[in-house]
Amino acid sequence: MIWSFATGGNVGSGPALAGGVIYFGSDDHNVYALDARTSTKLWSFGTGGKVDSSPAVADGVVYIGSEDGSAYAIRDGTELWSFPTGRKVDSSPAVADGTIPQR
């Protein structure tokens, strides 16, 4: 093991790596950004529910869903926008041509 990082809950989210930063969600209702080399926490962002969705990262923006019933766009730990879905979001977003496609 090179390093580890403890959250306040289980981690069911798969990680995303972009620009030397690892992004992931936790059952402690947070999204985390860690330095990939050192595991130093760069920022965290709280949602109202568990975060089992795996993030998508494009142009420095992290897109992720939460069991609080919202999808989020986050940059540097700050919410750019959120979209209420009406149900928990466990699936992982995809970004294509600057948009998040919907089914």
List the helix and strand counts (H, then E) for the chain: 0, 8
Question: pLDDT tens digits for 36-53?
Answer: 999 999 999 999 999 999
Integer Cα distance of 98 and 28 in angstroms: 29
What structural domains and CATH numbers belong to the chain? 16-84 (2.40.10.480)
- Supply the pTM of this predicted model: 0.92
Question: pLDDT tens digits for 10-41?
Answer: 999 999 999 999 999 999 999 999 999 999 99
Residues 6+ apart with CB under 8 A from 102: none
Query: In this structure, are residues 17 and 24 in contact, taking their beta carbons and an 8 Å threshold?
Result: no
